[in-house]
Every structure is written in C-alpha cells, then in structure tokens.
Amino acid sequence: MADAPPDGLVLSRIPTPIGVGLAITDAAGRLRAFDWEDHVPRMRRLLRLHYGPAAEPVEGAAPTAVAQVFEAYFAGALTALDTLTTATAGTPFQRQAWAALRRIPAGRTVSYGELATEIGRPKAVRAVGLANGANPIGVVVPCHRVIGADGGLTGYGGGIERKRWLLAHEAGCA
C-alpha cells in the first residue's frame, strides 16, 4: 500500500553535465525523488508506487540548498550529497537497502552480494537488486555504485552511460 502523498511536491529541473536532472522536493524542502529528464515515466511510476495516484508535483524552482548541493557534487565536491535531507516511502527492506547505499563512499563500488551482506541478508541478493531498481533518489542514494559480482557494470535506471560517467567522475574526484 502506498503512503499518503507528501504536501507541496515540486518538480524542478537541474542542469548537470550528463543531462537535465529532475528533483522532486516536498514542502519541507526534503528531496523525495531524483531522476533524469529522459526517464520521466520511470520517475512518475515510482511516485505512484510510493505515494499513490495523487502524487502529482507542480513545476517550480528547486530549493536553493538542493540546487547548490547538486551543483557542488557535479563540480567535484562528492560529499555534498551527504548533506541533503531526503524522505522516501518504500518497504522497510527497501529503506534498509537504500540506507546501506548511502554508506558506500564516493569512488568505491560494491557488488549486489556485498550489499546484501552489509544489511545482514547475504542470501537476499535478488531482493537487494530489486530494491536498488526501485530507488527513487538516484545519484543521492548512489545505486550507480553497485556493480556485478564479476566487477562489470550492470543496469542503471538512468542508463549505463550515465552510470559509467558517475563512476568515473567519483573516481577522478575521490
């Protein structure tokens, strides 16, 4: 069952070196979603999944603090994303997986198996992958830092080229 939609959802466009990011914030300025302009259907699907059909953001400017954090991250201040206040719906398992994702330092990667072990569920590799794919706050909850067991790049909701760019950006700035 979806949570009630938060008050005052605002959809903002944030230019980045790898495309226009879409940030959804609530009335309190908390980041609720981040995706890419060319992935609007995915973002809307996740919003409906987490908050029901009434979750319709209005277009507007991002809170200054949110826009500045993304600008700083893409300029090389990789820990800037750690300062963002976020709020997500999702199941307790998903939230646990997303919290573990936020603990992966920039410039590092982990496998799905390592992430499952990190949350104390070493056999839940597939469930961790599904939670990763349902992450509504890409980049901030760094699902791009999860790779295959063989070290290869695996899928990323924003596209494999963005994943490759994000990993290279973080490796070069870490």
- 54 and 97 share a domain? no
Residue 27 sits in the same domain as residue 61: yes
Q: 62: domain range?
A: 10-83
For residue 1, being part of any structural domain is answered with no
In a domain, 25, yes or no: yes
Q: Is 98 found in the same domain as 73?
A: no
- The answer as to whether 109 is a domain residue is yes
DSSP string, 109-162: -EEHHHHHHHTT-TT-HHHHHHHHHT-SBTTTS-GGGEE-TTS-----TT-HHH
**Mean pLDDT, rounded, of the chain:** 90
The whole-number pLDDT of residue 53 equals 80
Flag whether pLDDT at 1 surpasses 50. Answer: no
Examine the fold and report which residue of 52, 83, 114 is the final residue of a domain before the chain moves on: 83
Judge if 42 and 97 occupy the same domain.
no
Dump pLDDT digits (tens) for 26-49: 999 999 999 999 988 888 888 888
Residue where a domain stops, chosen among 49, 83, 117: 83
Residue 151 has pLDDT above 50, yes or no: yes
Q: What percent of the chain has pLDDT over 90?
A: 68
State the DSSP string of 58-101: EE-PPPHHHHHHHHHHHTT-GGGGGG--B---S-HHHHHHHHHH
Question: Are residues 122 and 145 both part of a single domain?
Answer: yes
pLDDT tens readout for residues 48-62: 888 888 788 889 999
The average pLDDT across 87-101 equals 92
Between CA 49 and CA 43 the distance in angstroms is 10
Is 161 part of a structural domain of the chain?
A: yes
**Which amino acid is it at 83?**
T
Residues 14 and 76 in one domain: yes
Same domain, 100 and 163: yes
- Give me the residues paired with residue 16 across strands: 19
Catalytic residue positions?
143
Domain boundary among 83, 104, 133: 83
138 plus 159 within the same structural domain: yes
In angstroms, the CA 83 to CA 42 distance is 25
The b/e string for 32-50 (b: 16+ C-beta within 10 A; e otherwise) is bbbbbeebeebbbebbeeb
Q: Tell whether 109 and 73 lie within a shared domain.
A: no
- Mean pLDDT of the 105-125 span: 94
pTM, entire model: 0.90
